[in-house]
Chains A and B, each alone.
Chain A
Amino acid sequence: MAHTDNEPVEFSSETMSKMKELIASYPEGKHKSALIRILHLVQTEKGWVSTPSMNKVAEILKIQPIEVYEVATFYTMFHLEPVGKYVFEVCHTGPCMLVGSDNIIEYIENKLNIKIGETTTDGLFTLKTAECLGGCGYGPLLQCKYKFHEHLTKERVDELIEKYRSGKYDQN
């Protein structure tokens, strides 16, 4: 497995400088406040948040590794296991359900031939459900790499998967 606990981890110089900038933006001694945003940076670079990554973050923030684990495990946006290149998080809460999110989830499952929580064999897509994503009037919707895809229909889903497959969303 990719996530053995002793594999050393390095972050890119870009990520490292962003982390330093963030830490510096908090008052003396309050740098732990940067933790959640730093975990987002880690996930953006690595795709998920591994234990070695968390240990490295603890080192950078000069806090105990447990303080990082506590936070990373509490917040649902952090993937603590390897995931596909693109994670589709489909909202399945009330307002989205009213406008057909169940059908969209089923459609994606069939289309990608995976169940919720699984990753396609080519490692490209992981399907997850999410609780209300704050776009209830534009449902059904999903989020992938912080991007919202709203007003989903079967056709829109087909199109979306095509675009991700061909790397059209990788630029920005």
Chain B
Amino acid sequence: MKYRKLLLENVHIPGIDTFDVYRKNGGYRSVEKALKSMTPDEVVEEVKKSGLRGRGGAGFPTGMKWSFLAKPEGVPRHLVCNADESEPGTFKDRYLMEKNPHLLIEGMITSSFALGANLSFIYIRGEFMYVLHILEKAISEAYANGFLGKNILGSGFDLDLCVAPGGGAYICGEETALLESLEGKRGNPRMKPPFPAVKGLWGCPTVVNNVESIAAVVPIVNEGGDAYAQIGLGRSTGTKLISASGNLVRPGVYEIEMGVSVEEFIYGDDYCRGIANDKKLKACIPGGSSVPILPHYLVTKTAAGEDRLMTYESLSDGGFATGSMLGSGGFIVFDEDQCIVRNTWNFARFYAHESCGQCSPCREGTGWMEKVLHRLEHGHGNMRDITLLEEINKKIEGNTICPLGDAAAWPVAAAIRHFRDEFEWHVNEREQSQKRNYGLITQPSVAV
């Protein structure tokens, strides 16, 4: 059993969202340590040693990302925290910021110091306006106590920190769309290169990191990168916040030590406590709506019959054929009564709605997929539609400016791959499919 908590350890302490209580419980130590006894490069080095991988979805090593930041003479640099949190199934950042706002502020200060940024931002989705106010209160407390502003702790390091809201657009979670939005524009993703590390906010070198990644810098600096790397399993170091939703007895946000088994996470007493209403598990999307869905027989075991673990490697074991991804940790669980076709259509509608419309394969393709899935789900589809979906997929994949196109296409491909019977049933048994649920698929007898 793995209990280690680093980010949510103190959330149950009353008043932890105030500066005084947070400080009494060891808060802002990482700022003191970094500013008083380390160079910025030494902080970057600790983050590299920690093995921390970006918690926003892509899992790119944070220390490496930081070391790519261009440092031209006389040009300001920026750190931008991505608190857009709009990937369906993901609601961990909101929890962290609401319960423990100073942890994020502390992480922002320590990280900005490491990157040499003197003006940093937290970009938060507009729907979280109440969290924005919580953060602003924490920020003003940090200013009042000398942790923000000019010459922090007498170190000569200056930092201003601002929070800016979005206005309701999933695409603004994509880092270059986020930067456009932060500049007061439509959230249209930019062509890369140049990457934000070279040309980011207002054309200046910029690092964009997820809330959880920035919060994790605090324990990394406090305890050292090596100590952090000891937690977890293999290249999946540290702890991870998992947002569990769907048909679970106890959905919610859990901080797990990487390496917990999926079985224990779904059924264990410390975690989700099983499927709600005594139903059976039908499927699971382990990393947010953009990652492939897994049928029940590939959720707790890999195709090779090994225990599936909550790590980057184990969840993607088998590639797209029999695996999925840890992604943002948006763990969505389906019980036996759920219709996979309906759910696939639902997510396709989401992506069609959220496509920014800049590239035609994504704009047209997502709309098309939504239409085809709508008719399949409502009993007006035919067999050709299933192949059509696969063809549209191939036209989107890799042909777009940003990864939203892939994020829309891959889950549809995975649903058809694993639940083709259920799609065909919607065509062959139109009336039945409108009246009742297909139920559980059986495990293929041949090895997948």
Contacts and interface: CB of A to CB of B under 8 A. Distances in A.
Interface in A53-78: 67, 70-71, 74-78
Contacts of A77: 126-127, 167-168
B91 A146 contact: no
A63 to B, nearest CB: 8
Nearest to B123: A36
Given A93-B350, A131-B350, A36 B127 contact: no
B184 A35 contact: yes
Interface stretch (B82-90, B314-322, B390-398): B82-90
Given A97-B343, A133-B127, A135-B91, A36 B245 contact: no
Contact of B164 (A33, A133, A136): A33
Most chain B C-beta atoms within 10 Å of own C-beta, residue among A40, A71, A137, A138: A137
B184 A143 contact: no
Interface SS majority for chain B? mixed
A67 B128 CA distance: 24
Given A33-B184, A37-B164, A76-B167, A136 B90 contact: yes
Given A74-B187, A95-B246, A137 B167 contact: no
B206 interface: no
B237 interface: no
Given A33-B164, A36-B167, A137 B184 contact: no
Contact of A36 (B90, B91, B165, B334): B165
A117 interface: no
A148 B332 CA distance: 21
A33 B245 contact: no
Nearest to A61: B184
B240 interface: no
Contacts of A131: 86, 88, 170, 350, 353-354
B92 to A, nearest CB: 9
A137 B353 contact: no
Contact of A134 (B127, B164, B332): B127
A98 interface: yes
B186 A71 contact: yes
Contact of B91 (A35, A92, A134, A147): A134
Interface of A: 25-27, 30, 32-37, 39-40, 67, 70-71, 74-78, 92-95, 97-99, 130-139, 143, 146-148
Interface of B: 85-91, 94, 119, 125-130, 162, 164-170, 181-187, 202, 243-247, 251-253, 289, 330, 332-335, 338, 342-343, 346-347, 350, 353-354, 356
